[in-house]
Structure formats: structure tokens, C-alpha cells
Amino acid sequence: MPTMKAVQVKAKGESMTLVNIPVPQPGAEQILLKVEACGICHGDAKVIEGAASSYPRIPGHEVVGIVEQLGPNASKWKKGQRVGIGWHGGHGETTALTTDGGYAEYMVAYEDGLIAIPDEISSEEAAPRLCAGETVFSALRNSKARPGDIVAISGIGGLGHLAVQYAKKAGFEVVAISRGNDKKTLALDITLIRQKITSPQIFRLLEARK
């Protein structure tokens, strides 16, 4: 049976562990993805805090991958297509809480939860947009602020560093609020900021910690 590297939370309150487990098989209306990149979001901490429906659970809800295999009745995607998935894991499902997420070499997803990823964007750059990017983009778009207004971004983390870029591009006067000066250069030069964390990098970090 083929196996894969994955990062699991084995039970509520436990930290993440690098494991070798069988590659999952897609069920009805599901797709097996070969994971290309998975963003790291503070929301992943929810898995450790106990929000998953069962354990062990694989975190990671900002996933971009290639369609590797179609489960029975799956018809919406073709093998080889590049797709992404965020928290919304299909009808009634939440990626990384009710189904395993993308901190793994392979992941099974319901076909309804997937979106196509355009060729113009790399997997590493697309992945964080599937939760962090979407969240701050929606907040800016649905706020009453209009171009020229002052927008303050509090905390230049995973969400904040994208919000600074979106707000700047949208024509707002942007104020970046941080606890120290270490992110000042990044906040002022938004072109320097990139969130490029990939699954192989996570594996290397965890392996180095052993």
C-alpha cells in the first residue's frame, strides 16, 4: 500500500506530529489531490484546541494540489487539473475539521469544495489566499471604506500581510499596526512580503526538530 508523509494532531491538546500513513482513497464524489502547497493559518490551532469532529486529524485548510484520482461518481474535475480548497470542504464539511487537510503529500476532498487555480499564479502564492486572503479581501470589500480613506491593519501576520497588500492596491491609505519594529520594512515595501510555506518545508522543519 502506498504511504505518504503527513502532519497529524493525534488527539485534542496534542502538538503536531510527522507520520507516515497510507495514501487515502477517494470515496463517492471525492477527489485525491497531490498537494503542491499548503498555507499556514492561525486557524490551524483549532485542530489542536479540539474543534475537529474526530482524531487523529491532519490540519491545513489553504491547499493547492493536482487532481490525481477521481472517486466513484466524481465528474467535475479532470486528472492533472490544478485546484484549491479552503475551510469550505463541500456540503456540510469543513476542511481540516471534519475531513483531513493539506499538511500531507496527498489529500482527499469533496469535489464540490474545490475551485480551479489559474495558471498565472504559483501554488505557493495561491494557497494562502484560500483562507487568509479571502478573509481580509472580504473584510475590505464589504467595509464602508472607499479609496482614499484610511484603513488600519492590526497585526502583520498571515492575514495582516495580505491585507496590507490588498488595501494598498485598492487605493486606501494604509496604516500597519505591529507590536514592534521588526516588520516595518516589510510593511512599507509590500512587494517584499510573500507567504511561501509549502508542505515539504513543513516536513523539513519538523524533521529538523526531532
Ligand X SMILES: NC(=O)c1ccc[n+]([C@@H]2O[C@H](COP(=O)([O-])OP(=O)(O)OC[C@H]3O[C@@H](n4cnc5c(N)ncnc54)[C@H](OP(=O)(O)O)[C@@H]3O)[C@@H](O)[C@H]2O)c1
- The DSSP 8-state label assigned to residue 104 in this structure reads B
Strand partners, 153: 176
* Cα–Cα distance measured from residue 191 to residue 185, given in angstroms and rounded to the nearest whole number: 10
Letters for 91-130 (x = contact with Zn ion by CB under 5 A, - = none) are ----------------------------------------
**Interface stretch with Zn ion, choices 8-16, 33-41, 70-78, 171-179 (CB under 5 A):** 33-41
Cα–chain-centroid distance for residue 188?
A: 25
The binder of ligand X chosen from 42, 79, 196, 204 (CB under 6 A) = 42
**Interface stretch with ligand X, choices 29-37, 90-98, 119-127, 157-165 (CB under 6 A):** 157-165
Quote the cell numbers at residue 169.
492596491
- Is 127 strand, coil or helix? helix
Q: What is the nearest approach in angstroms of ligand X to the Cβ of residue 48? A: 12
Burial class (CB in 10 A: 0-12, 13-18, 19+), 133: buried
Residue 61 as a binder of ligand X (CB under 6 A): the answer is no
**Is-contact 103 199, C-beta < 8 A?**
yes
Residue 41 as a binder of Zn ion (CB under 5 A): the answer is yes
Q: In b/e form, how buried is each residue of 110-120, taking b as 16+ CB within 10 angstroms?
A: bbebbeebeee
By beta-carbon distance, which residue lies closest to ligand X?
A: 157
The binder of Zn ion chosen from 43, 60, 89, 113 (CB under 5 A) = 43
Nearer to Zn ion, 26 or 59 (CB): 59
Q: How many residues does the chain have?
A: 210
Residue 82 as a binder of ligand X (CB under 6 A): the answer is no
Residue 156 as a binder of ligand X (CB under 6 A): the answer is yes
Q: How many C-beta atoms surround the C-beta of residue 198 within 10 A?
A: 19
Nearer to ligand X, 7 or 132 (CB): 132
Residue 179 as a binder of ligand X (CB under 6 A): the answer is yes
Residues in the site for Zn ion, rule: CB under 5 A?
Answer: 41, 43, 131
